[in-house]
Structure 1
Amino acid sequence: ALSSGSVEYVDIEECAKRGIRLEAKNVTFNTAEHINKYDINDLRHPYETLPTSYTGMAFKIFQGTPNRAPCVELKASPAKIIQGHNVYGSTSIHLGSSEMIAALYHVLPEFYEMLDVENTLLDLIDCTFSARLKNQNQVKQVIEQLKNISNKQMRTAVRNEHETTCYFSRNSRHVDRKAYGKGFEFQRQLADLRAKKEQGCNSYDHVIEVMSCPHLQNFAQNLLRLEAGAKRRYLDELSIPKKLVDAIKFQTEYEKNGNCLITDIWKRAFNPLLEALKGQKMNIFNDDEVHTQLKTAYFTITPKGNISYSKADRVFRFYRSLISDGYNAVKDSFSSRATFYRQLTLLLDVGFSKAQLQQLKGKGMDNVIPLLQVIEIDFSAQRPSNWVEPKTSPIVDFYLTGETNIVHLKRA
């Protein structure tokens, strides 16, 4: 802690000499002769992205204040910079932090020598786990349902306009929470990277190659991701040390008996939501599967050689009307019974039973199941069975030396 009124500053010009890009808050044009044309004041370091083996890492230098010593802030998804994706990954604080610091060392080795790495602090941990649902449409249905849930201090955010994402207690000083469709996010990110490549940017070729793997895409499909961003105040409540080396030792001790620190942080963060979901029910319909089944059965080839699914789409609309309004109401709405039964026969021909369709009541009374039965987190199936834990960086690695509790750096 800094004493009252005492402020430490970064030698920002020395940082620039060691490869740091700077910007000026104030630039004044000077018309006097025999002097510099510009007066530059208040140099500072803007947020920038440092390259890693895969994706970028956010990096910024902060000057000191009366309440905070000057520091370097690093933000990244450790899984992304290690693997090129974060569909799954390690829960090791040691591994993630080592890779982030190693990335800084690789890009700015001379600047790195200015840092007091042994006193690195841990300010935020993102803890994410997923539930595997039956299809993407079900993921959307669950997210829409979650937008109406609140319990205790956890409230859905006022602005929740995203169809595939739901925020809870956004910008909290303790913990941010959100639920989103991982498959949707994954495909959006891959499409954005491919668009950049088409525009001539080749920086993400390695990431595109990783994310284009069919096995990875299949694993991401139909995942409902629940993410908790535990901030420093929240970590303090859990007695997780602020100093990084102590936090690494804390996790090691915590997990000696088979516990998982990241899992337990997540459970504590999402417990209010799980409590609120008890007794909640929702309607589940596998629209995607039905539509795909209909398109497989009902299609035509146009004179130009294209495939037309107009008939399948028409039958699907009939199916959705049965779901929303019920069998009897839809039957009564048809002026021609023959037309109704022709549409019904097309559904029966792809595997539906007449008894099954006749039981549809509409108005949200069908296929009602407990929401917790849909959002079922299997902590033992968060990664593929053949996944191997990555090793820490050979350039920068932390280890504890006996009782001295000092972080050492191993450099190649």
Structure 2
Amino acid sequence: MHIQNDWLHILINFYDHIIISSSDNEYHVVDVNLVAIGIKTAARVVYADENDCLQHTELFHPFESVASNLSGFSFKVFNNCKFKPRVEIKFSPSKILQKHNVFGPKSGFHAVCDVLTSLHLLYPKLIQHLDISNAEILAVDYTASARMKSKTELKQVQNFLRNVANKSLRKSNKSASFDSTIYWGSDNSIRLNRKCYDKHEELLNEINDLKKKAGKGDLQAIDSLKFLDCESVIEFSKYLLRFEARLKKQWLYENGIPLNLWQFFAFERDNSNLGIELWQKAFSPLFDGFENMSMKIYNDDEILNKISIVHDKITRTGRLSKVKSMNLFNFYISIRSLGYDKVKEITSNSKFYENLKDILDCDFCSKFELQNLKSIDEKNVVPFLKLIEIDFSNQLPSDYVEPKSNHAHIYKHLIPNFSKAS
């Protein structure tokens, strides 16, 4: 049984002895010069003094992207704020350990070890001021995928899902703007976010973006392509409809999950199906609503492919022409939706029988099946839960080995009863 931990957002507070608080305890600053310890800072206020020299105040650290072993992470130092000064770090455990997240580890522990080691090597004077043993989780993502039979089926299921809402779960207006991703709930929710998307399409878009950067000499993009533009990874991503739940601090607290990072890893270790159980709880309002739902499924990819094999043509200029194939495909769709007799009625006799002969030449159906296609189609209804069955025993390639950090021994002792930790 497996589920992927695809995102972690953690915070690490500064030690109390270097924090200076206002008299009313409403504002806090860190007694550390960020510039002196190598942090790249920006200024909220820039002005010219009486000598026309530029001055600045209110230095801050914007989120900074940092290259790690295989991928990168982003972090930000909150050095003056109304809450306790801290560092926040965001990353994908899968990408940190193996460069891609088509599939990946169920725990973020080994990725955390790599990220903290990278931070230590880059900013050793920062890390010594951080209370790593009391690091906390702000958000964790768990993702699981349903494998569709075809691209067409995947798109049909997505179109169905776009209109789904149930109980406290409401579809997001954001859904309409992103063709391959569907969102539920508010972006600003303090508890959790849920979405589903076409993993193959997302991967191909990422590869295309990296190829553009690689073409301009971006060395990190060139390196990333070695891991992403890989036949086995691309093939595994095909027809995957991925459901992703981002569980935030408030939701984790309400569900009795430890917020201390190391206690969380211990809890995860002692509850091997923790990620699956949390994911199921997050998505239960959605999947409960599917209980009595059904939808029609069409094998249009297969139909179009069989028509194309027979009727695609090469023009005199050497270009592939799909005009006839697409016309015949549309003829088939018309019979399916309107019925054989209606299409015959509205089409000229010669054209109708010409198209009919061309369809029959493709040898995927008989004339009898075409005459009854509309009634067959009306019976082509599948329970929706059967379509989007999440098989937690089949979320990984059969030969997958979870990557491990070479730095795990440095942080393993922070996990309670760490001798059990993997």
TM-score, structure 1 as length reference: 0.90
Residue type at the aligned position of 2:29: Y
Q: Is the 8 A contact 1:8 1:65 kept in 2?
A: yes
Match of 2:221 in 1: 204
Match of 2:5 in 1: none
* Structure 1 residue corresponding to 2:381, chosen from 368, 389, 396: 368
Residues 403 and 286 from structure 1, CA distance in 2 versus in 1: closer, same or farther, beyond 3 angstroms? closer
Distance 1:18 1:326 in 2: 75
Match of 2:357 in 1: 345
Match of 1:141 in 2: 156
Q: Please state whether the residue corresponding to 1:273 is helix, strand or coil.
A: helix
Residue type at the aligned position of 1:49: S
- Residues 102-138 of structure 1, C-alpha deviation per residue, up to 9 Å, x if partnerless? 3322433332223221111111110100000011222
* Structure 2 residue corresponding to 1:252, chosen from 269, 278, 282: 269
* Structure 2 residue corresponding to 1:221, chosen from 217, 231, 238: 238
* Structure 1 residue corresponding to 2:280, chosen from 237, 244, 267: 267
Match of 2:170 in 1: 155
The question of 1:80 aligning with 2:95 is answered yes
Q: Is the 8 A contact 1:78 1:99 kept in 2?
A: no
Distance 1:404 1:197 in 2: 45
Match of 1:23 in 2: 42
Q: Please state whether the residue corresponding to 1:17 is helix, strand or coil.
A: coil
Q: Please state whether the residue corresponding to 2:165 is helix, strand or coil.
A: coil
Match of 1:110 in 2: 125
Where in structure 2 are the equivalents of 1:288-327 lying within 5 Å?
A: 288-327=301-340
Deviation (angstroms), 1:396: 6.6
* Structure 2 residue corresponding to 1:49, chosen from 30, 48, 65: 65
Residues 11 and 356 from structure 1, CA distance in 2 versus in 1: closer, same or farther, beyond 3 angstroms? farther
Distance 1:45 1:8 in 2: 15
Distance 2:125 2:393 in 1: 43
The question of 1:192 aligning with 2:209 is answered yes
Greater fraction strand: 2
Residue type at the aligned position of 1:207: S
Q: Is the 8 A contact 1:327 1:362 kept in 2?
A: no
Deviation (angstroms), 1:358: 2.0
Deviates more, 1:294-303 or 1:164-173: 294-303
Residues 64 and 86 from structure 1, CA distance in 2 versus in 1: closer, same or farther, beyond 3 angstroms? same
Where in structure 2 are the equivalents of 1:330-409 lying within 5 Å?
A: 330-336=343-349, 338-350=350-362, 351-361=364-374, 365=378, 367-394=380-407, 397-400=410-413
Deviation (angstroms), 1:232: 0.6
- Residues 53-109 of structure 1, C-alpha deviation per residue, up to 9 Å, x if partnerless? 33321211113544x211111111110111111011111132232233233224333
Q: Is the 8 A contact 2:262 2:416 kept in 1?
A: no
Gap regions ≥5 residues in structure 2: 1-12
Distance 2:417 2:238 in 1: 47
Residue type at the aligned position of 2:326: D
**Paired positions, count:** 397
Distance 1:299 1:189 in 2: 31
Residue type at the aligned position of 2:372: Q
Residue type at the aligned position of 1:59: F
Q: Is the 8 A contact 2:304 2:325 kept in 1?
A: yes
Deviation (angstroms), 1:346: 1.9
Match of 1:410 in 2: none
Q: Is the 8 A contact 1:127 1:229 kept in 2?
A: yes
Residues 139 and 402 from structure 1, CA distance in 2 versus in 1: closer, same or farther, beyond 3 angstroms? closer
After superposition, the CA RMSD in angstroms is 2.5
1 or 2 for the larger relative contact order (CA 8 Å, sep ≥6)? Answer: 2
Q: Is the 8 A contact 1:151 1:272 kept in 2?
A: yes
Distance 2:181 2:417 in 1: 45
Residue type at the aligned position of 1:166: I
Residue type at the aligned position of 1:135: S
Distance 1:364 1:346 in 2: 21
Residues 343 and 69 from structure 1, CA distance in 2 versus in 1: closer, same or farther, beyond 3 angstroms? same
Match of 1:9 in 2: 29
Residue type at the aligned position of 1:174: R
TM-score, structure 2 as length reference: 0.88
Distance 1:366 1:197 in 2: 50
Residues 293 and 397 from structure 1, CA distance in 2 versus in 1: closer, same or farther, beyond 3 angstroms? farther
Deviation (angstroms), 1:23: 0.4
Q: Is the 8 A contact 1:94 1:398 kept in 2?
A: no
Residue type at the aligned position of 1:347: I
Gap regions ≥5 residues in structure 1: 407-412
Distance 2:417 2:181 in 1: 45
- Residues 207-228 of structure 1, C-alpha deviation per residue, up to 9 Å, x if partnerless? 1111111111010010000000
